[in-house]
Amino acid sequence: MKINEVILISVLLGVLVGLASIYAYPSTTSYSVANRGSNGFSDLLSSFRASIVTDLNVLHGVNASNTTYLLIRSSKASASELGVLNLFLASGGNLIVSGTPNFINSVAEYFNLGVRVEEAVVYDMVRNSGDRFHPIGFSDYCNASVTTYLPHYITGEGFKVLAHSSDFSYADLDGDGYIDLDEPMGRFPIAASISVGSGQLILVSSPEVFTNELIDSNREFVGCVIGGRSLLVDQVSVKSDLIEYMRVLAISRGSPSYLFVTLAAILCLVVYYVFREG
């Protein structure tokens, strides 16, 4: 075997092992559809037959009036992205916005909603799912409970309260993790709905509502906010993580066979070179 063939086989084997590892090694990226862990969206994808969106321009081609777009981010959206979302809402789409308060507020400010998500976290010692960091709220609109994780509360005017925390919850204004004498206790809005154009903008202050950990408890509520439309899950942010992006791409093709075909092709190539020598 020539030296350049040895190098070629080595590289091919490396790529083979690398690709296999990407698929086999579990994703830990929060809110990623490839993540089968507690903070992933793999169950959301399968439960609601959702499609993955890695490029927002896809929204131009969908039937907005029959689509709900789930947008969860930790950093601010760009102006061009917000422009696309504006068109989507104007065409009658349902947009669910969740993530960090900064992100939700940036969207709310863009649409000039007069609504904001406060930084203070809501805790609940009484109505919770295991501990006070998982308050259970209730949606009168959906007639369903909502299990959350460290939700923030929504303030402002002109919105419909989609879900609120229990009477026993309190807002930790100073961020020390405990209630103080001057901190309010009672119901806090944790999900809100506002009409924008012909569509609905839904703010959910706890993105964990949609994760694998809590989706079983929230199936009724999530189904209600999706409203029987096709669900598109935003995965644009995973583009910054090449390996996660490859995982998401592998899933977005419908089945893992796409990746398997690639792996098999490389393997065949390696075997060909090895046996040709023999």
Choosing from 108, 162, 179, 226, the residue that interacts with other proteins (CB under 8 A) is 179
Choosing from 107, 113, 127, 148, the residue that interacts with other proteins (CB under 8 A) is 127
Nearer to other proteins, 127 or 194 (CB): 127
- Using DSSP bridges, classify how beta strands 230-234 and 51-53 pair: parallel, antiparallel or unpaired: parallel
For residues 191 and 205, the answer to whether their CB atoms sit within 8 Å is yes
- Residue 168 CA: distances (Å) to CA of 122, 125, 143, 217: 10, 7, 19, 20
The least distance separating other proteins from the CB of residue 125, rounded to whole angstroms, comes to 5
Choosing from 74, 114, 140, 178, the residue that interacts with other proteins (CB under 8 A) is 178
Reading phi first (left if > 0) and then psi (alpha if -120 to 50, else beta), residue 254 is in left
Query: Is 57 one of the binding residues for other proteins (CB under 8 A)?
Result: no
Residues paired with 135 in a beta bridge:
128
Query: Is 18 one of the binding residues for other proteins (CB under 8 A)?
Result: yes
The least distance separating other proteins from the CB of residue 41, rounded to whole angstroms, comes to 16
Stretch that binds other proteins, among 15-23, 57-65, 156-164, 192-200 (CB under 8 A): 15-23
Stretch that binds other proteins, among 19-27, 93-101, 189-197, 223-231 (CB under 8 A): 19-27
Nearer to other proteins, 90 or 125 (CB): 125
The least distance separating other proteins from the CB of residue 53, rounded to whole angstroms, comes to 23
Stretch that binds other proteins, among 10-18, 48-56, 191-199, 201-209 (CB under 8 A): 10-18
The least distance separating other proteins from the CB of residue 262, rounded to whole angstroms, comes to 15
Query: Is 157 one of the binding residues for other proteins (CB under 8 A)?
Result: no
The least distance separating other proteins from the CB of residue 6, rounded to whole angstroms, comes to 5
CA 80 – CA 55 distance, rounded (Å)? 12
Long-range contacts of 106-113 (CB under 8 A, 24+ apart): 106/76, 106/77, 107/71, 107/77, 107/82, 107/201, 108/156, 108/203, 110/77, 110/82, 110/86, 111/86, 111/194, 111/196, 111/201, 113/156, 113/158, 113/159, 113/194, 113/196, 113/201
Query: What DSSP string describes 154-195?
Result: EEESS-EEEEE--TTEEEETTSSSS--TTS-BS--EEEEEEE
What does the binding site for other proteins look like in residue numbers (CB under 8 A)? Answer: 1, 3, 6, 9-11, 13-15, 17-18, 21-22, 25, 27-28, 123, 125-127, 130-133, 168, 170, 176-181, 185, 243
